[in-house]
Amino acid sequence: MDASARFSRRNLLRYLGIGAAVALVAEGLRVFAFTNRHTIIPGIAYRSAQLTPDELDAEIRRHGIRTVLNLRGTCPDAGWYDGEARVTHQHNISQEDLCLSAKRLPAPNEVRRMIEVLDRTERPILMHCQRGADRTGLVATSVILLFTTATLDEARRQLWPRYGHIRGGRTVVIDEFFEFYEAWLAGRSHTPDLYREWVANHYRPGPFSAELSVAGEKPVVERGRGFTVSIRVKNTSVQRWVFRSGPAGGIQLRASLFNEAGVKLHTARAGLFEGSLEPGQSREFAVGFPPIAASGRHLIHADMLDSQPIDLHDSDFVQYGSEPLLFDVTVK
């Protein structure tokens, strides 16, 4: 082979490499920096990042969209929400708002509402969150599970990096949601009816489900004296609770005392020890409060807390639909 042939082959390979790199960069920009638009099921469902009013108008016209499914919650004071509402109103189409997080497991009630919206709303649907990657990936995967014969593994391709979702960091909860479903299937093959059954009756958001009750009689408190309340806690979740002795990094019971005017007087915590509680197990915690100066009716609000080294990342169980405990105490 002469030198010119080798040179031509090297050039061809070089150009092919450059072309592939350019294509990869262009796709990355489209996903991470621009609209991240994709088809989920032609004529039924589409996905995107947050679009400008003009982009949304064009997308509605292009696909004949009949419902815009916003996954960022109802935000009437935000410019993006106002613009989106104006466009859907101009086109006389539906706008449905779901409140999902990219960094927290979805609350059971919100997932059940997601199924209801997907089943009943007019199609085609355009769904979006801010980046069109994580929350949108969760709902897009659900669309595939509900309206096609795809397997669970095939449906989870809607969570691939080509859509902007990376399995790592705090957004890994989106993947965990479907791992809980896979665990519940226990080797059975997925069907749309099984997915609906799981969402309706069996889904629990990781460790974030508890049943709290007052153990024994509610206390009658003497003014000017400290007191304790015993609270029974049952782990109704699908995961073990881990308690830690440090100030953060484990499951805790947090109880706050309020006066009749709704002013918080004190917050107490229990569960600061090394231990665990398995699903289905219960434990009693004694929560202590300082003396109360004023007589009258007071209120205690108690909930479980997943504490983190960074307080901003703390999660109250009520955020996931678990019911907190509210009860009165009388100070005499």
Convert the pLDDT of each residue in 143-188 to its tens digit: 999 999 999 999 999 999 999 999 999 999 999 999 999 999 999 9
Global pTM value: 0.83
pLDDT at 8 (0 to 100): 62
User: Between the ranges 21-35, 81-95, 243-257, where is the mean pLDDT highest?
Assistant: 81-95
Domains of the chain: 35-201 (3.90.190.10), 210-331 (2.60.40.10)
For the chain, the C-alpha Rg in angstroms (whole number) is 26
Q: How far apart are CA 101 and CA 97, in angstroms?
A: 13
- Residue 315: how many CB atoms within 10 A of its CB? 19
pLDDT of 193 strictly over 60 = yes
Convert the pLDDT of each residue in 270-311 to its tens digit: 999 999 999 999 999 999 999 998 889 999 999 999 998 888
Short-list 112, 122, 51, 140, CA closest to 87: 51
Short-list 92, 91, 97, CA closest to 57: 91
Annotate 11-70 with DSSP letters as a single string: HHHHHHHHHHHHHHHHHHHHHHTS---EEEETTTEEEESPPPHHHHHHHHHHHT--EEEE
Q: How far apart are CA 168 and CA 241, in angstroms?
A: 22
What value does the mean pLDDT of the chain take? Answer: 91
Question: For the residues 78-97, what does the mean pLDDT come to?
Answer: 98
Percent of the chain with pLDDT over 90: 82
Percent of the chain with pLDDT over 70: 90
- Cβ atoms of residues 258 and 299 within 8 Å: yes
Convert the pLDDT of each residue in 220-268 to its tens digit: 899 999 999 999 999 999 999 999 997 778 999 999 999 989 999 999 9
pLDDT at 312 (0 to 100): 83
